[in-house]
Amino acid sequence: MSPREEQDTVHPHQPAYSDEPTRVRQLVSEFLTDQSGTSLGGDGLEVRLTAGADARDDCAVYDLSSPMSLVVGSDYVRGPKFVLYELGLLSGFDIGYYLAVANISDIAAMGATPIGLLSVVRYPHEVDDAEFREVMAGIHQGCTDCGTLNVGGDIGNAERIILSATAFGVCKPGSALMRSGARPGDLLCVTGPCGLLGAAVAYFPRRDTFAKALPEEVERRLLDGWKRPRARVAEGRVLGTKSYATACQDTSDGLKATVEQIMQASGVGFRVYEDDVPVDPAVAMVADLMGAEPLALAMSASSDFQLAFTIDAGDLEKCRAEFDLAGLDFFVVGEATNTGRAESVNGLGAVRPLPGVAWKHQKSDISLLVTDPVED
């Protein structure tokens, strides 16, 4: 019988608070078994996890048997201002899942195949074994859904729950997608609607102040964006392995910020065609409650994990065919220019700066950011 089963038997209705070594043993036995010897990678890249977390060593060990580029990204995603968790709308499982996907999304944006995640989980003493297990289960499931493994990391005490991670991926040498390759005339594309997660944190903290609440199914749609986000690994691999994308980035800071960052890295401008930007109906409904422009909310600060990318106009049909073959989709929303400015144009031809508020790591919580109001 495992330590956890013994605790549940002796105190079936009481929370259990194990020490760190006990939690590590439970973690290894429940979530991190049978890793060593796993074959990872893809597209002819030979990667073998020689020693995973189940080996209980200080580090994971990979054997890389072919020339490849190693892609590494790290994100700290959970501190005192994860507002929907503080409101009780997200569980420990949800924030663990989000941690995994947030980090793996950066690997996807580089066109790489994820081969592992190292996670850091710090927690206060009042977190019992069940809540701790929830977080670890979420990280495990997030990795599993992205086709990779949580290969270890660090756990221990802190003043509150703190989550951070580092994701690893591989790709063929020279094939990693950068932000800096867009050229004037390239088409600007996005893999799906943006703004859903930002709309959720704009809505739920202020729900009681609006004249009416949204329908239950719309609220569920908003929360699902946080509970089960998706890293666009498959889309990134199509763009990277087929060399279609000239530049690429995920939209974890919001679509406006992403367009501006690709623009600055590439030394180009962008013109976005407002009628072509997909807007989720749930985002439009939140915008209506806020008295905001739907497009502005859709492009504003939001932790979405769509991919924004540029492609040569001559590659559009071939890229579309590859996406269709994989059951994937994307939207052409604009084009790169030589103006050095990011602007949008409506159906009447009126040009303006990109609408919305870009996330730039402001001191305030994202839920306090306001979007451009609707003009009379």
Nearest CA among 90, 67, 65, 66 for reference residue 77:
90
92 marked among binding-site residues: no
- Do 210 and 316 lie in one domain? The reply is yes
Overall size of the chain counted in residues: 376
Structure tokens at 267: 């030394």
- Do 67 and 145 lie in one domain? The reply is yes
DSSP 8-state secondary structure symbol assigned to residue 239 = H
Is residue 213 situated within a structural domain? yes
75 marked among binding-site residues: yes
Residue-wise pLDDT for 272-307, tens only, equals 999 999 999 999 999 999 999 999 999 999 989 999
Q: Mind giving me the DSSP string for 329-366?
A: --EEEEEEESSS-EEEE-TT--EEEPPS------SS-G
- Do 314 and 224 lie in one domain? The reply is yes
List the domain range (segments joined by +) for residue 99: 3-171
171, 195, 228 - which closes a domain: 171
136, 171, 206 - which closes a domain: 171
Alpha carbon distance 181, 245 (integer Å): 8
Q: What percent of the chain has pLDDT over 90?
A: 73
- Do 119 and 242 lie in one domain? The reply is no
Inter-axis angle of helices 3-10 and 20-30, to 10 degrees?
110
- Do 161 and 191 lie in one domain? The reply is no
Is residue 72 situated within a structural domain? yes
Is residue 176 situated within a structural domain? no
pLDDT at 3 over 50: no
Q: Record the pTM.
A: 0.90
171, 195, 224 - which closes a domain: 171
- Do 160 and 298 lie in one domain? The reply is no
Is residue 64 situated within a structural domain? yes
Is residue 373 situated within a structural domain? no
Q: Mind giving me the DSSP string for 48-82?
A: EEEE-GGG--SS-EEEE-S--EEEEEEEEEESTT-
Is residue 374 situated within a structural domain? no
Residue bearing the bigger pLDDT, 9 or 306? 306
106 marked among binding-site residues: yes
- Do 164 and 240 lie in one domain? The reply is no
- Do 249 and 195 lie in one domain? The reply is yes
Residue bearing the bigger pLDDT, 221 or 4? 221
Position 70, amino acid: L
Residue-wise pLDDT for 75-130, tens only, equals 887 655 578 998 999 999 999 999 999 999 999 999 999 999 999 999 999 999 99
74 marked among binding-site residues: yes
312 marked among binding-site residues: no
pLDDT at 359 over 70: no
Domain harbouring 59, CATH code: 3.30.1330.10
224 marked among binding-site residues: no
43 marked among binding-site residues: no
Is residue 178 situated within a structural domain? no
Question: Quick one: average pLDDT of 129-143?
Answer: 95
- Do 305 and 352 lie in one domain? The reply is yes
- Do 111 and 250 lie in one domain? The reply is no
Nearest CA among 143, 145, 144, 119 for reference residue 132:
119
At residue 81, the pLDDT reads 55
Q: Average pLDDT over the chain, rounded to whole?
A: 89
Residue bearing the bigger pLDDT, 52 or 354? 354
At residue 79, the pLDDT reads 57
Is residue 11 situated within a structural domain? yes
Domain harbouring 301, CATH code: 3.90.650.10
- Do 153 and 237 lie in one domain? The reply is no
105 marked among binding-site residues: no
Question: Quick one: average pLDDT of 323-344?
Answer: 97
The count of structural domains within the chain is 2
- Do 16 and 153 lie in one domain? The reply is yes
Alpha carbon distance 85, 91 (integer Å): 7
Sheet containing 113-123: give its strands across. 69-78, 162-171, 113-123, 150-157
Q: Is 273 left (phi over 0), alpha (psi -120 to 50) or beta?
A: beta
